[in-house]
Homo-oligomer: A and B are copies of this chain.
């Protein structure tokens, strides 16, 4: 019964329908004070009828800001990046900003390409999210676009980075065990080439020392991030006859392997040996048959803090390390199942 409203309604259309000028329509829709409330209502009615959506391109062109940030990430199907993105989105939602997402698959040329694209779209800033906690060279072609590196810090200290504090995490995990009175603690670390593995192990070392416990090199072991390594390491420790009443495992997969082996050997958890993991992965730590006490690195919080730093427009140089918290469960407490 009406003309087909093919193209999107423009402010001019709304103004025409309401019988006012574009200027007045603009003020009415932006709820400015100098418009009679009656006309304001009339314009709003017309806008609703026409299903009007103000063109953010036109608005952004004029304003010089777009209320948007770009996220450049290596990879989204790892287990870190998605949570970081959620945190970013949370922090930005409060600011009515939206998120542009790109995935570089670790290709620096693709990264540069996406950064250029974001600059063309006039994002207000860029978050560069890594999927492993190793430091990385600064992004090319960033020029004066505000940027914050997340999870994988920039190797240039003048850049702003927000990362997980694996050293503090290692300390917390170990303190959880020493606070429970454990004294014969081993650390089953991940790959020794990776800084996360070394930092977590170093956290254990420093907390053992702080607790007045001796630390022998045989207590800090490295392997890889696998169940098999946790399984084998426990076998080795038991075979050696060494006393053990606590295990700090470099991540939840190692912890799972260690726990399965302990149980297979008839050892009771946590009475005889208490076990802590890292990463607090639901599938392993929370929903397995044997819930694992694990250090949650609070990746969402890391994302949020990075987004907040970016939104200032002038993120402070340097590295901000976020500590996380211990989610205590059966593998150290025997029953409780905290977040």
Does A191 sit within 8 A of B, measured CB to CB? no
* 7 residue pairs from A and B, CB less than 8 Å apart: A53-B120, A56-B121, A57-B61, A76-B82, A81-B82, A98-B118, A281-B283
Does A17 sit within 8 A of B, measured CB to CB? no
> Chain B: which residue is nearest A230 at the CB level?
B289
Does A190 sit within 8 A of B, measured CB to CB? no
Q: For A77, what are the chain B residues with a Cβ–Cβ distance below 8 Å?
A: 82-83, 86
Task: Beyond the given A77-B83, A99-B101, A281-B283, please list 11 additional residue pairs across the A-B interface where CB-CB is below 8 A.
Answer: A8-B119, A53-B116, A55-B120, A56-B120, A58-B61, A68-B121, A76-B89, A77-B86, A85-B101, A89-B103, A227-B289
Instruction: Kindly state the separation between the CA atoms of A103 and B307 in the bound complex, as whole angstroms.
Output: 15
| Chain A residue total in the interface (Cβ 8 A) | 51
CB within 8 Å for A284 and B283 given contacts A57-B66, A122-B57: yes
Q: For A76, what are the chain B residues with a Cβ–Cβ distance below 8 Å?
A: 82-83, 85-86, 89
List 3 A-B pairs, minimum CB-CB distance, nearest first.
A56-B120, A82-B82, A53-B119
The reply to whether B121 and A98 contact each other, CB–CB distance below 8 Å, is yes
Q: For A75, what are the chain B residues with a Cβ–Cβ distance below 8 Å?
A: 86
Instruction: Kindly state the separation between the CA atoms of A52 and B242 in the bound complex, as whole angstroms.
Output: 66
Q: For A99, what are the chain B residues with a Cβ–Cβ distance below 8 Å?
A: 100-102
Query: What 1/0 mask marks residues of chain A from 272 to 289 whose CB sits below 8 Å from any chain B CB?
Result: 000000000101100111
User: What's the minimum C-beta distance from A127 to chain B, rounded to whole angstroms?
Assistant: 12
Does A219 sit within 8 A of B, measured CB to CB? no
The reply to whether B120 and A283 contact each other, CB–CB distance below 8 Å, is no
Instruction: Kindly state the separation between the CA atoms of A83 and B93 in the bound complex, as whole angstroms.
Output: 23
Instruction: Kindly state the separation between the CA atoms of A68 and B68 in the bound complex, as whole angstroms.
Output: 13
Instruction: Kindly state the separation between the CA atoms of A60 and B17 in the bound complex, as whole angstroms.
Output: 26
Instruction: Kindly state the separation between the CA atoms of A327 and B332 in the bound complex, as whole angstroms.
Output: 36
Instruction: Kindly state the separation between the CA atoms of A313 and B83 in the bound complex, as whole angstroms.
Output: 31
The reply to whether A56 and B102 contact each other, CB–CB distance below 8 Å, is no
In the complex, chain A residues 90-108 whose Cβ is within 8 Å of any chain B Cβ: 90, 93, 98-103
Does A236 sit within 8 A of B, measured CB to CB? no
The reply to whether A55 and B51 contact each other, CB–CB distance below 8 Å, is no
Does A222 sit within 8 A of B, measured CB to CB? no
The reply to whether A57 and B121 contact each other, CB–CB distance below 8 Å, is yes
Q: For A8, what are the chain B residues with a Cβ–Cβ distance below 8 Å?
A: 119, 122
> Chain B: which residue is nearest A110 at the CB level?
B93
CB within 8 Å for A231 and B289 given contacts A58-B61, A116-B53, A121-B57: yes
In the complex, chain A residues 284-326 whose Cβ is within 8 Å of any chain B Cβ: 284, 287-289
User: What's the minimum C-beta distance from A327 to chain B, rounded to whole angstroms?
Assistant: 15
